[in-house]
Amino acid sequence: MTPSVLVRVAGAVCWLLSSAVAVPAAAGQDPAAPPNAAALVRTTGGRVALTYRGSLLLDATVASTGAPPDFRAVIDNAGGRVTQILKWTATRGTRLTLSGTVHASPEAFAAEVEPRDNALPLVRHAVGPVSNPLNRAVYDRRFDWVLSVDFPASAGIVPEVSSGTAAAFRVDAKGGEVAIRFRPRYYQRHRALAEYRPWTYRPWEHSVAGWTSWYAFFDKVTERDVQRTADVLGEVLRPFGYRYLQIDDGYQRLPIGMPANWLETNDKFPGGLAALRRYISDRGLEPGIWTNVSFQQTDQAESHARWFVRTPEGRPAHGNWVGFVMDGSQAGAIANLVTPVYRALADMGWSYFKLDALRHLRYEGYNSFAAYFTRKGLDRAQVFRRVVSAVRDVIGRDRYLLACWGIRPELIGLVDGVRVGNDGFGYGSFAQYNSFNNVVWRNDPDHIELGRPDGYRAATLTSLTGSVLMLTDPPEVYRTERVEAARRTAPVLFTRPGQIYDVDPSRSSRLGEVGAQLSGAGPRSFDADQRLVVPLYQLDIARPFEQWTVLARAGGDGEIALADLGLRRGTDYLAFEFWTHTALGIARDHLTLPPVDPGYQVQVVCLRARVDRPQVLSTSRHVSCGGPDLLDVRWADDTLSGTSELVPADPYAVFLTEPAGFRLEDVRTDGAAVVVQSMEGDTRVIRLLSPRGGPARWTARYARIH
């Protein structure tokens, strides 16, 4: 029987104790772990306070336009998932208001926790302390709890204070009935991610943008291919935020197996790995390298059978793709097959590690030989985790570790990124695992080929969702006009999901099947699709001087209700398309968009609330319409001024509105030269250039015309 507690409160002062339904901690649990238990609730008259982990979580008042409301509380822990609900119901014909403050850690953010009825298919992300009326919850990533307001009450969550030690959010809810819902261990228990312990690790917050050799050269890659790519990348793309150059399969000696075959290169790489690492670093790039967990050396496997999973006959077990299955429970296997490789690579200075064939070790290896682990009394998922933990221990937390390929819930907390789908760029991750991105790990949709027709679209959606952006063209492509798709999409901003549910749950809902797979020969039912599942992607950006919205559209209907984006009704918004540098006019309540340009296969519309004076529409630097480059914007004394971060020798444009009643008098800059300033249609364009790059101050002084 599922334990639950239902309480009706009638007294003036009442404490609701949650300990009666707390889920017991497992033996050996981390003492720093937050409790899987309901909050302590105190109600005094019209005030309510929730306390969790000994700290105030919610301090609020409940007011009614009529008689005191009926109050009910329930705590349920079905399946070890604690849900605590507090509900106030007004007397007939009256209304309630709950207003207060949610206190959380600095990792907390506002989001939606469940889909709205008849909602526009849309994937939302945010940068900074965004305020969006669609948000009905606060999720605290550090301690994995969520506090939300139930439908049908109206709700608003507005960030108030954020520092290095705490964050606070204003919560307001109104209706004839108001219910708040507290769920501890949200991703771990409610989303069934058993290894998710966010209080023990942080997601990788730096931009992950670079190049990998696989689709450019496959396993025919040579040392010279890598060197000439490093030359081009360092010159053409590094200034725009491309940090990494990762060599893929093709440098190692065959057969894959003992550490020497990873560390001593084949004839196509005569200079060796240490010299190649130096060559890459000398071009200002971070060196990355591919390895995998398969083992193909028959003689070595038979000579060291104790390091491998064994058949009932005592022979080293063998699986398709993975070869001989190393046994992560054996200290000798870790010490002789794993640690030497990654210690040597780390000592050489490699800083990006792509760890491949993990699905094959799990499926053809550990799952296929489950009886071996059962006989030894071992949890095969934990043994699998131990292999990757050994890699992480050696390389440390300051080097990027990518798990490849397919969803790997067993490795949460150990890896920084996960290649969530099949070989080849896939759009599915953007909507099927959107709630994982930059919370559980960073999603990798696989490599982008700018030479393909969808190069602009792939780079745009990857950047605006805060995913891993790795290119994979031959370097000659980056000296063609196609390079513009790359230049305008890096660096990748660190986003948080605006929805902590998956917009398309068809894949993540099947994650429980990972333990019952015996083959990794192709995508499984839970691996992300390659299809474009959802055509609309929204990024809200909050800066101290302004908040704006970026909407990427890759198809679908061009008529969009602004309320579906969380934009205010009855408010004018200025719309500007980034790739074509086209002002789309003023939108109120509805946005009407032209067909998507087939040359780009994507639109990027910047939406800013209109004010009755000149203002910034966008800049030309980045697809986020100013995200990484627009450092400050001010209006004072009829002067619009700003500070922008410029790329050396990259023409930079600031696009401004110039409404009736204002005439531009003067444009001045410090740190860059004004190449030209002119009207292009209804848009004022100020074009700047700086040979050295860096911050540039610009001012546009206006006179009022009566």
Whether 580 shows a pLDDT value over 70: the answer reads yes
Out of 182, 200, 218, pick the residue that ends a domain. Answer: 200
Confidence of residue 3 (pLDDT cuts 50, 70, 90): very low
Residue 147 domain-assigned (yes or no) = yes
CA dist., res. 32 & res. 52, Å (int): 13
Whether 706 shows a pLDDT value over 90: the answer reads no
Two structure tokens written together for 463: 């950047």
Whether 499 shows a pLDDT value over 70: the answer reads yes
- DSSP-based three-state secondary structure for 158: strand
Two structure tokens written together for 652: 């930079």
> Average pLDDT over the chain, rounded to whole?
95
Confidence of residue 31 (pLDDT cuts 50, 70, 90): low
Residue 591 domain-assigned (yes or no) = yes
Whether 24 shows a pLDDT value over 50: the answer reads no
Closest CA to 180 of 156, 148, 157: 148
273 with 386, same domain? yes
Residue 528 domain-assigned (yes or no) = no
The one-letter amino acid code at 541 reads I
Residues forming beta bridges with residue 606, ordered by sequence position: 550, 576
502 with 557, same domain? no
453 with 561, same domain? no
Residues forming beta bridges with residue 354, ordered by sequence position: 290, 402
Two structure tokens written together for 121: 């298919």
Planar angle of CA 93, 95, 99, nearest 5 degrees: 175
106 with 20, same domain? yes
Higher pLDDT, 397 or 19: 397
CA dist., res. 469 & res. 410, Å (int): 24
Higher pLDDT, 360 or 13: 360
Share of the chain above pLDDT 90, in %: 94
Largest CA distance in the chain: 95
Mean pLDDT throughout 154-158?
A: 97
192 with 105, same domain? yes
Residue 396 domain-assigned (yes or no) = yes
Higher pLDDT, 161 or 610: 610
Whether 550 shows a pLDDT value over 70: the answer reads yes
Residues forming beta bridges with residue 687, ordered by sequence position: 653, 676
Say what the pLDDT of residue 121 is: 95
Out of 200, 233, 255, pick the residue that ends a domain. Answer: 200
Out of 149, 178, 200, pick the residue that ends a domain. Answer: 200
The one-letter amino acid code at 393 reads D
Whether 23 shows a pLDDT value over 60: the answer reads no
188 with 298, same domain? no
Say what the pLDDT of residue 32 is: 85
CA dist., res. 406 & res. 526, Å (int): 8
554-571: pLDDT as tens digits: 999 999 999 999 999 999
212-258: pLDDT as tens digits: 999 999 999 999 999 999 999 999 999 999 999 999 999 999 999 99
Strands (E), 217-285: 244-247
189 with 306, same domain? no
Strands (E), 199-274: 209-212, 244-247
Instruction: Give every strand in the sheet of 400-403, ordered side by side.
Output: 442-444, 417-419, 400-403, 352-356, 286-292, 244-247, 209-212, 469-471
347-376: pLDDT as tens digits: 999 999 999 999 999 999 999 999 999 999
Q: Are 618 and 584 in contact (CB under 8 A)?
A: no
Confidence of residue 162 (pLDDT cuts 50, 70, 90): confident
Mean pLDDT throughout 509-529?
A: 95
Whole-Å CA distances, 27 to 2, 24, 30, 369, 414: 22, 9, 9, 28, 22
Say what the pLDDT of residue 30 is: 73
Residues forming beta bridges with residue 250, ordered by sequence position: none
Residue 118 domain-assigned (yes or no) = no
Two structure tokens written together for 328: 């992560």
CA dist., res. 352 & res. 400, Å (int): 5
Could you tell me the residue range of the domain that residue 41 belongs to? 4-113+127-200
Whether 62 shows a pLDDT value over 80: the answer reads yes
Q: How many helices (H) and strands (E) does the chain have?
A: 13, 41
Mean pLDDT throughout 304-333?
A: 96
Say what the pLDDT of residue 352 is: 98
Confidence of residue 11 (pLDDT cuts 50, 70, 90): very low
Q: What is the DSSP string of 651-662?
A: -EEEEEE--TTE
511 with 542, same domain? no
**CATH number for the domain including 437?**
3.20.20.70
Q: Are 64 and 95 in contact (CB under 8 A)?
A: yes
345 with 468, same domain? yes
The one-letter amino acid code at 556 reads G
214 with 189, same domain? no
Say what the pLDDT of residue 12 is: 37
CA dist., res. 464 & res. 605, Å (int): 12
Whether 9 shows a pLDDT value over 90: the answer reads no
Residue 523 domain-assigned (yes or no) = no
Say what the pLDDT of residue 436 is: 98
Confidence of residue 25 (pLDDT cuts 50, 70, 90): very low
pTM (2 decimals)?
0.95
Mean pLDDT throughout 50-64?
A: 97
Residue 524 domain-assigned (yes or no) = no
256-266: pLDDT as tens digits: 999 999 999 99
For helices 339-348 and 380-395, the axis angle rounded to 10 degrees is: 30
470 with 331, same domain? yes
191 with 49, same domain? yes
CA dist., res. 264 & res. 81, Å (int): 50
Residue 10 domain-assigned (yes or no) = yes
Number of domains the chain is built from: 3
Q: What is the 3-state secondary structure (H, E, C) of 373-427?
A: HHHHCCCHHHHHHHHHHHHHHHHCCCCEEEECCCCCHHHCCCCCEEECECCCCCC
Whether 191 shows a pLDDT value over 60: the answer reads yes
Q: Are 511 and 520 in contact (CB under 8 A)?
A: no
